[in-house]
């Protein structure tokens, strides 16, 4: 009888072990260029939730049912100045996995621009405005809504070609300034500007350097920004849909001419938005998206 109960206990223990076996996996690229966004794919055979620790920020998630079991996809960003292997830690209720993502160095271009002097050495009477803009921007970038509202690929906000590449080192009126944390896209004044993905408008206001700007929360710390607008089509608190008009191209703020300044931030890390117009943001590994030449005007046919 004692042997019977011993065998029964062992069988129950092994059965419990088999039943609780997990298949939690974490998939991320081994190498990512500086300033480039990427996805972390997490899967398991059972329902699960947890957090991903990346760049000193915890990103919460809940997996959804899929054909393979339960999966979660999280967008992450490699800082433009990352030097060494960056640690990523996945934590669930009963497991912890870690990966290291190695940044690839990028040789950033330099832009020399001429703007109104007040945008290089702002007068004292606008310093409070600049500080207020900065506080609001930091608050927007620290927004981490629990549920993702975005889907890939993102919608291209305007059809215009790229006139200013992401992370270019900028020199205004011969004075070096911070890197360009966005992409400039050509467009005539009044051209509709579209939201890249579903989200909620965090800010829709005039800012000193960015001009009329819209900031949108897309969930899980993904925030897009649209600057130098001539008109707003949304207001703070509005829910917007992917491809919805949110404003019009303009030349407000610190500009050399009309265009859209497009910014994309992932948990506060600025990344190149253009690769996300493809289904796979890491379709190719490389430097910043190159500036594109202005389309040539069609040849005029001689009059008969």
Enter the DSSP assignment of 281: T
- The single-letter DSSP state of residue 250 is B
Alpha carbons within 13 angstroms on the beta-carbon side of residue 33 total 19
- What pLDDT, on the 0 to 100 scale, is given for residue 118? 87
pLDDT tens across the length of the chain (304 residues): 555 445 444 444 444 444 445 689 999 999 999 999 999 999 999 999 999 999 999 999 999 998 879 999 999 999 999 999 999 999 999 999 999 999 999 988 888 888 888 888 899 999 999 999 999 999 999 998 888 999 999 999 999 888 888 988 778 888 888 788 899 999 999 999 999 999 999 999 999 999 999 999 999 999 999 999 999 999 999 999 999 999 999 999 989 899 999 999 999 999 999 999 986 666 555 555 666 566 565 555 655 5
- pLDDT, position 110: 83
Q: 65-94: per-residue pLDDT in tens?
A: 988 799 999 999 999 999 999 999 999 999
Neighbours of 278 (CB within 10 A): 13
Number of alpha carbons in the 13 Å side-chain half-sphere of residue 297: 3
* Sign of the dihedral defined by the CA atoms of residues 11, 13, 14, 15, in that order: positive
Separation between Cα atoms, residue 35 and residue 108, nearest integer Å: 10
Looking at residue 301, its pLDDT comes to 60
Q: Which residues pair with 86 in a beta bridge?
A: 101
Structure tokens at 285: 């590994």
Instruction: Write out the H or E segment, with its range, that includes residue 52.
Output: strand 49-54
Q: pLDDT digits over 208-247, tens only? A: 999 999 999 999 999 999 999 999 999 999 999 999 999 9
Return the pLDDT at 232. Answer: 98
DSSP one-letter code for 116? -
Q: Which residue has the tokens 């610190």?
A: 254
Question: What is the per-residue pLDDT for 198?
Answer: 98
d(CA 39, CA 41): 6
35 near 106, Cβ under 8 Å? yes
- pTM of this structure: 0.85
Dist. CA 162–CA 177, nearest whole Å: 21
Q: Distance (Å, rounded) from C-alpha 256 to C-alpha 86? A: 37
Cα–Cα distance measured from residue 187 to residue 199, given in angstroms and rounded to the nearest whole number: 24
């Amino acid at each position: 009888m004692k042997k019977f109960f011993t065998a029964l206990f062992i069988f129950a223990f092994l059965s419990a072990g088999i039943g609780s076996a997990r298949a939690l996996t974490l998939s991320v690229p081994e190498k990512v260029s500086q300033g480039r966004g990427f996805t972390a794919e997490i899967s398991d055979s059972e329902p699960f939730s947890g957090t991903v620790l990346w760049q000193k920020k915890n990103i919460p998630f809940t997996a959804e049912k899929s054909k393979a079991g339960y999966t979660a996809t999280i967008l992450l960003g490699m800082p433009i100045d990352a030097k060494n292997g960056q640690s990523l830690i996945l934590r669930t209720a009963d497991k912890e996995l870690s990966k290291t993502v190695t940044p690839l160095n990028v040789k950033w271009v330099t832009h020399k621009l001429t703007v109104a002097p007040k945008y290089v050495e702002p007068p004292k009477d606008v310093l409070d405005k600049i500080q207020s803009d900065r506080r609001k921007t930091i608050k927007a970038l620290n927004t981490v809504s629990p549920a993702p509202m975005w889907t890939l690929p993102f919608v291209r906000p305007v059809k215009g070609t790229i006139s200013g590449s992401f992370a270019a080192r900028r020199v205004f009126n011969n004075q070096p300034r911070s890197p360009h944390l966005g992409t400039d896209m050509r467009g005539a004044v009044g051209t509709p500007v579209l939201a890249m993905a579903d989200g909620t408008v965090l800010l829709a206001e005039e800012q000193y350097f960015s001009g009329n700007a819209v900031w949108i929360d897309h969930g899980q710390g993904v925030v897009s920004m649209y600057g130098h607008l001539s008109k707003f089509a949304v207001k703070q608190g509005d829910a917007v849909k992917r491809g919805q008009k949110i404003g019009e191209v303009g030349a407000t703020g610190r500009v050399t001419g009309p265009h859209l300044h497009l910014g994309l931030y992932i948990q506060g890390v600025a990344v190149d938005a253009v690769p996300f117009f493809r289904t796979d943001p890491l379709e190719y590994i490389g430097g910043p998206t190159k500036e594109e030449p202005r389309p040539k005007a069609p040849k005029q046919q001689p009059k008969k």
